[in-house]
A and B are shown apart, each in its own frame.
Chain A
Amino acid sequence: MVRIVLRVLPALLLLAGAAHGQSMTDPYSLNLVSTELKVNSSGRRVIRSWSQKRLVELGDGVSVALLKLVADSDLRDPEKVGDILPIIRDAFSQPELIAIEVDKKPTVTVFLLNYIRQNIADSRTQSEIRTTMDFIEKKTER
């Protein structure tokens, strides 16, 4: 499965990255998502207005950043995944504010969530992933 991910991801990243068109120095918003990962750790939920209003503009771009920032081993860690899921939800919480049209479709995010779900046995995390997928599906349905 990891091999498949590694083969497909470059194409997805290229697609998303090319369309993103944000800061030339940080086209994938790695700085923003990285800080969110650090602040939201060990089950603590932290929401700051200045980062939240950037996060809601990312949409599917958040998963591109997560794939670049999070190690594969962390994607199998229920606690780390528990910290990631709220960040993904934030990025799709106001789909009308997503800056890049292509990021309004959760292509990379669904791919990422399916990958995580297939590599985690923890039932509670499985349930949170399912809830997150339902949330995104509801937010992005037209």
Chain B
Amino acid sequence: MDATHNALVAVTNGGNRATEALLTLHFDDGGKNYEIEQTIQPGEQMWLNFADLIHHGVPDRKGNALPADVTSGTYDLEDLNPGLGGNLIEGKVALDKTFGHLTYGCLTCCGYTPYLSPGTVTVTVGGGGGISTFGTNNCTGQGGYSLNTYYNQTGRWLSDNISTATVTAYHAQGVAAGRTMARATATIPNGDGGVPKPPCRSLDQEADAPVPVQVPTSLRVISSQVISNTWIPECLATYFGIVIQINYQVLDQNGANLASANMEPQEEILDEVFDGTPFGNPEPTWVDVWKPNYPGSAQFTSASGQFLDAPFGACTTSPFVDTFTQPISMLLNGTNYTVRTNNWKFSSVAAGHGSVTNGSDISQSK
């Protein structure tokens, strides 16, 4: 556009319901945008005269005006209510005031390629996960367009293996450890922008996403360290014994981290023998591992699937040897999954000293 050229755009709603049209003008080599949004009734038109918009400094929907020195740019048109019955038809007229030349065009139908988000819907046994439907614009290659309108109207959802996970609208539910595929089909515009073809053609299109179902299976020791005896009430620093802190990571059936904040670490204390005297099972049923007053201790695992067992230890007023087993489980959706059994041995022969080992990956002494 300049002193001898102008451009007019007419956007017509050729459908049978009102719709929202968004025309975005890109200028400064695409670095800046100018956006006009307007509701168009069936059979009505939205007219834009770019020369007038520039000349009068008309603000767009974000309050920005076109600079006076803009002479060229590109634009695209988007139906903000696709699939609801409105069909936008665009006519463009480029005027050459000197030679009387004009051109015109029509709205092309770009359509969408659907995809699911997240790309992998990881859930735990008995747990659920949300699924969103989006599309990639076939003309621009830009993703992030919600396709809920199409999926709400014509969506069909299924799982390849319902004994592993069920899939319903926007949701996957874990049933058993394993892996399946979520499939979501809807009738979605599929134009590629190559030729004008209003109204947009629609086809059944499917989006898929793998659904791994994780089950707590084992624990990995991230770290263990000696802490002060006094973290246990009534346990003096000068007593015989040792107190430690253990940081665990929950792993799934494949040895991968199980990143869920919904697991409740629990323990039993069984077969305790103190200085050669058997005391049976001090904790014969599952009880929480967490200790409310200890920093970092929590009733549930962290979002990454980690937890602290602390303060953990024993102290006495005389030398001792204490052995017992400690099964640990994750309470998840009402079921306890045993993930480890520690065979502990605590001992001390001198005041202020002690050692502890589970015979495998945890050993500390002081």
Interface residues, chain A, with chain B CB atoms under 8 Å away:
23, 25-26, 31-32, 35, 38-39, 44-54, 56, 86, 89-90, 93-94, 97
Give complex CA distance A45, B320 in Å.
11
Which A residue's beta carbon lies closest to that of B322? A48
| A44→B318 contact, CB < 8 A | yes
Given A35-B282, A46-B274, 7 more contacts at CB 8 Å? A46-B320, A47-B314, A48-B322, A50-B269, A50-B326, A52-B234, A52-B235
> Given A39-B274, A46-B314 in contact, is the A52-B233 Cβ separation under 8 Å?
yes
Q: With A39-B274, A94-B293 as given contacts, are A51 and B233 in contact (CB-CB < 8 Å)?
A: no
> Contact: B234 with A90, CB < 8 Å?
yes
Candidates B234, B283, B284, B316; contact of A44 at CB < 8 Å: B316
With both beta carbons as reference points, the residue of chain A lying nearest to B344 in the complex is identified as: A50
The distance from the CB of A56 to the nearest CB of chain B, in whole angstroms, is 7
- A48 contacts B314, CB within 8 Å? yes
For residue B314, give the distance in angstroms from its CB to the closest CB of chain A. Answer: 4
Chain A nearest Cβ from B12, distance in angstroms: 70
Contact A52 B232, beta carbon cutoff 8 Å:
yes
Residues in B neighbouring A86, C-beta threshold 8 A: 234
Distance from B107 Cβ to chain A, minimum over Cβ atoms (Å): 68
Count of chain B residues near A, Cβ 8 A? 34
A-side contacts of B313, CB under 8 Å: 48-49
Interface membership of B311, Cβ < 8 A: yes
| Contact B283–A47 (Cβ < 8 Å) | no
Q: B285 within 8 Å of A by Cβ?
A: yes
| A51 CA to B270 CA, complexed, in Å | 12
Give the CA-CA distance A51 to B233 in the complex, in Å.
11
Alpha-carbon gap, A25 to B317, bound state (A): 33
Contacts of B291 in A (CB 8 A): 49, 53
- Find out whether the CB atom of A50 lies under 8 angstroms from the CB atom of B282: yes
Can you list 16 residue pairs at the A/B interface with Cβ under 8 Å?
A31-B284, A46-B274, A47-B232, A47-B233, A47-B241, A47-B314, A49-B232, A49-B291, A49-B311, A50-B267, A50-B269, A50-B312, A53-B291, A56-B233, A90-B233, A93-B234
Q: Closest chain A residue to B297 by CB distance? A: A53
User: Chain A contacts of B292 at CB under 8 A?
Assistant: 97
Is B332 interfacial (CB-CB < 8 Å)? Answer: no
Cβ-neighbour of B312 out of A49, A54, A56, A94 (below 8 A): A49
Complex: chain B residue closest to A54, CB-CB: B287
Q: Is the CB of B269 within 8 A of A45?
A: no
- Max chain B Cβ within 10 angstroms of own Cβ: one of A26, A53, A97: A53
**Which residues of A have CB within 8 Å of B239?**
45, 47
CA distance A32 to B279 in the complex (A): 11
A49→B243 contact, CB < 8 A: yes
Q: Which of B298-316 contact A (CB under 8 A)?
A: 311-316
Question: Given contacts A46-B320, A56-B233, is CB(A32)–CB(B283) below 8 Å?
Answer: yes
Asked whether B315 lies within 8 Å of A38 as measured between CB atoms, the reply is: no
Q: Does B73 contact A (CB under 8 A)?
A: no
Q: With the chains together, A133 CA to B171 CA distance in Å?
A: 58
A38 to B274, CA, bound (A): 10
Which residue of chain A is the closest to B240 with respect to CB atoms? A46
Chain B positions 62 through 89: 1 when the CB is less than 8 Å from some CB of chain A, otherwise 0: 0000000000000000000000000000
Tell me the residues in window 42-58 of chain B with beta carbons closer than 8 Å to chain A beta carbons: none
Inter-chain contacts of B118 with A (CB < 8 A): none
- CA of A26 to CA of B286, assembled, Å: 12
**How near does chain A come to B202, taking the closest CB pair, in angstroms?**
59
B272 at the interface (CB under 8 A from A): yes
Q: Give the distance in Å from the alpha carbon of A49 to the alpha carbon of B241 in the complex.
A: 11
Closest-CB distance, B65 to chain A (whole angstroms)? 62
- Say whether B225 faces chain A, with CB atoms less than 8 Å apart: no
Among A26, A46, A56, A90, which residue has its beta carbon within 8 angstroms of that of B316? A46
Establish whether residues A47 and B316, one from each chain, have CB atoms under 8 Å apart when the complex forms.
Answer: yes
- B314 partner, pick from A23, A32, A49, beta carbons under 8 A: A49
